[in-house]
Structure 1
Amino acid sequence: MIDKHTITALPNAVIRAAFETGARVRDARVFHPRGIRLSGRFRATPDFEPWFGAGDRAVIARLSKGLGSPVGVPDVLGLAFRVLDRDQHPWDFALATTGRSTLGRFVITPARGWAGARFGSLLPYRFATAAPVWLFAEPLDAEDLPNTASLQALDDCLDDRVIRYSLIADGIGRPAEVIGELDLRRAEPGEHRTDFFDPVLNRPADVAMVPNVVNRLRESAYTGSRRGRTGGEDQPST
């Protein structure tokens, strides 16, 4: 007789195996295989300093294309970054371009270019016992960013400027609130010391992404993708 644990574990095992196979075949991430490594800083607003800590926090990040579409074709764009939390532990965020409406925030949406890309968390965050909020990153200097989804155009843009994003918390039935500012530049050799960002694994204990059942499936996908790129070895987060 199959027990309850086996039934609930089966979808996770299937997803993990599928993503591991996909990463082995591509010899790269299943999604967002091509990107640009970045570094910079994050400064939280006063209301969120208890979570992130005060002052400038060091950041490593990656801007990427989800499918690797040809130049001129819209693509799902991604922004992943790691910041050290108040206790100096890694806190990862993985955002992708989404719609702007209440329902659209649940949907991954191709963007025509970096200038108009608004990155969202898809799943909401719960800070301690507060109501869930979605996190969004919006460019502060959109006019300086390429109107195409080309990685080469973005790389050229980074030659002489810093890319700035406002990180925003937006819940249903409540006004949006700025969490802080993210400033990014092209990373120097040796600055970018991770090959993956895992928002489920790397986060403070009192910050949750909900619902948990979806997070378990998401973590299986991350684990499978990492194992597929590393010959079956699941790499540590540091």
Structure 2
Amino acid sequence: MSLSDLTTLPLKAGAALRDRRVFHPSGVLCAGTITRVAPDGQGLPVVSGDVVGRISKGAGTPGSLPDFAGLAWRMQRDADAQVPWDVLMVSSTARVVLRPTRSWPAAQYSTLMPLGYRGGVFWLRARMVTPLSADGLSVDAVRDGLAAGTVDFAVEQARGSGPFTALATLSFERALCGDEPECDQPFDPTVRSGAEVTLLPDWLTSLRRAAYRNSREGRGAE
């Protein structure tokens, strides 16, 4: 057993006990699209297309209570190949520091880890640009927003320590399902990161990969 597996083994036990995700247990699985707004060839190889995503609460606090807000989505290809690419983000500050939030639109979402692509180092962040009718961090508010129209995010990229610029618009159009076991869609950027994109640094990616794997195995998700 590797050190990464040993370190993250409690996640497997925790997921088995709860029969659900240890992190981000409450959320909404959504279908939508991503539309590239940056010039082609500038920065990360995001292309326009259909996505499946999830908007979630990190600790699963009840109702509208504050929590860490989560955002994940899967693209079916990038500019380099027909290879799935998962992106996971969480509410944060200063790119790498987790930060709880009181509402979905108030959060700034970050990958927390930079992405390597063709010799460059990039950061991704996003923010919800759709106002929701309900206050607080309620999953029901997201469902209501999807029932009324789209829930949109502005996605930005930065190279190294440079400024963030617009990359894409992420639009979720409908809810697929909630927290039922059959709706457990695992997103894992450590194994699905496009054709040439990698999470950095490598040692943290290995630890994160083991954590995701143990969590999936613990709750019986594929």
Please report the TM-score for the alignment, with normalisation by the length of structure 2. 0.88
Matched residue, 2:154: 166
Matched residue, 2:173: 185
More strand by share: 2
Would you say 1:30 and 2:19 are equivalent positions? no
Share of identical aligned residues, percent?
Answer: 30
- Which of 95, 102, 106 is the equivalent residue of 1:105? 95
Q: Which runs of 5+ in 1 are unaligned?
A: 1-5
Q: What's the CA shift for 1:32?
A: 0.4
The CA RMSD measured in Å over matched residues stands at 2.2
Cα distance in 2 between the residues matched to 1:105 and 1:177: 14
Q: What's the CA shift for 1:173?
A: 3.4
- Which of 71, 76, 101 is the equivalent residue of 1:79? 71
Q: Where in structure 2 are the equivalents of 1:145-156 lying within 5 Å?
A: 146-156=134-144
Q: Which has the larger radius of gyration?
A: 1
Q: Which runs of 5+ in 2 are unaligned?
A: none
Whichever residue aligns with residue 173 of structure 1, its letter is S
How far does the alpha carbon of each residue in 1:99-121 deviate from its partner, in whole angstroms, 9 at most, with x for none? 1xxxx321111010112122110
- Which of 86, 97, 118 is the equivalent residue of 2:108? 118
Please report the TM-score for the alignment, with normalisation by the length of structure 1. 0.82
Residues paired across the two proteins, number: 214
Q: What's the CA shift for 1:203?
A: 1.3
- Which of 105, 118, 123 is the equivalent residue of 1:134? 123
**Shift in alpha-carbon separation, 1:193–1:30, aligned structure 2, 3 A:** closer
- Asked if the contact 1:200/1:209 (under 8 Å) is kept, the reply is yes
Would you say 1:94 and 2:88 are equivalent positions? yes
Q: What's the CA shift for 1:177?
A: 1.8
Matched residue, 1:47: 40
Q: What's the CA shift for 1:172?
A: 4.6
More helix by share: 1
- Asked if the contact 2:122/2:160 (under 8 Å) is kept, the reply is yes
How far does the alpha carbon of each residue in 1:50-90 deviate from its partner, in whole angstroms, 9 at most, with x for none? 8234xx41100000111111334210010110011232221
Cα distance in 1 between the residues matched to 2:190 and 2:96: 18
Q: What's the CA shift for 1:187?
A: 3.2
Cα distance in 1 between the residues matched to 2:96 and 2:163: 18
